[in-house]
Amino acid sequence: MRPERTHRRDIGLWLRINQFIFTQVVLFFREPDWVIYHELVMTTKEYMREVTVVDPKWLVELAPRFFKVADPTKMSKHKRQERIEPLYDRYHEPNSWRLSKRHA
């Protein structure tokens, strides 16, 4: 299990979610750093299905409008230590955005 990390430069949204690779996926026994998935299956945990390993360099090359390489030597100490939490509505619980917390 590795957290998924996504950054969209034009919107400024960071998303960091702990999810698991579905057991029937070939990548189950590997721990790729970056993946793209098609479906999220909700059981006792959140599982990704139809998973593809992604090299982060591809994102910069193929979608430069949304992704850029950050130079850690030019980042402020505050920015390097920053831990970004998912966005949520102040009128709802902090974890209500998670699919596993939603009720059918």
104 is a domain residue: no
What 8-state DSSP symbol labels residue 92?
Answer: S
72 is a domain residue: yes
Tens of pLDDT along 71-92? 778 778 877 777 656 555 666 6
83 is a domain residue: yes
What is the total count of domains within the chain? 1
Tens of pLDDT along 52-67? 788 888 888 888 888 8
From CA 1, how far away is CA 29, in angstroms rounded? 10
Range of the domain at 14: 3-99
The count of other CB atoms within 10 Å of the CB of residue 21 is 21
87 is a domain residue: yes
Q: Model pTM?
A: 0.39
